[in-house]
Amino acid sequence: MSAELTYPGPMPWWVSSRAATLEGEVSLARLRARDEAAFEELVGRHEREIFQLARRLLGDREEALDATQEVFLRVYRGLPRFRADASLRTWIWGIALNVCRSRLASAARRLQQRLAPLETVDAEGEESPLPLPDPAPGPEQAAYGAELRDALELALASLTPEHREAVVLRDVQGLEYEEMAAVLGCPLGTVKSRLGRARAALRQALEGVWR
């Protein structure tokens, strides 16, 4: 099962084979033709990063596994409609963000229904929190290494979904600003300002860790 590249014609000599492998996506024609091998290759290329994205956005491993599976099912269903005006990767990441958002929303709704009488629930669900552990780290958690990691997970969970997306895309997944703008569907300036606010919120959430 070799990678079939979307580059029209033979690769130019200055494109190394490694770069071609990294950049080249599985052939769209094969994917649209429901070529199972091609789709499996696509899954193999993206499943890890999509899982990691979902894991950080959702804060729960099982939920992330379900989400990853849902993402690729949606990709499979949506391939015939994919217009290739964005890269395949950007499109997949966009789907992943949507899947995670809707899962967060329904999780928040479930939590609210469980915790609060209906009349007190804010219908807007203003940046509703995740059903995750108490984000305030105890004094014993203030340490480095693994404990810093735990504290970070909690701090991430305490962010609003919008801020969490920004931090995860940039500081966890390492996307460039342009990629973030494409995935999030907003201008570069918005991405930068949102990221700035998100990092400020994260630093604030981590305040207790360093004491």
The residues binding another protein (CB under 8 A) are 34, 36, 39-40, 43-44, 47-48, 51-52, 55-56, 65, 68-69, 72-73, 76-77, 144, 148-149, 152-153, 156, 167, 170-174, 192-193, 195-197, 199-200, 202-203, 206, 210
d(CA 148, CA 140): 11
Burial of residue 31, with CB atoms counted within 10 A of its CB: 0-12 exposed, 13-18 middle, 19 or more buried = buried
Quote the least distance from Cβ 126 to another protein, whole Å: 23
- Would you say 71 or 112 has its CB closer to another protein? 71
Percentages helix, strand, coil for the chain (3-state, rounded to 5) are 70, 0, 30
Quote the least distance from Cβ 134 to another protein, whole Å: 19
| Residue 164 · residue 156 · CB < 8 Å | yes
d(CA 183, CA 165): 10
- Would you say 4 or 70 has its CB closer to another protein? 70
Quote the least distance from Cβ 200 to another protein, whole Å: 5
Quote the least distance from Cβ 68 to another protein, whole Å: 7
Nearest Cα to Cα of residue 96 among 119, 77, 120, 69? 69
- Would you say 69 or 111 has its CB closer to another protein? 69
- Would you say 36 or 85 has its CB closer to another protein? 36
- Would you say 11 or 192 has its CB closer to another protein? 192
| Residue 196 · residue 177 · CB < 8 Å | no
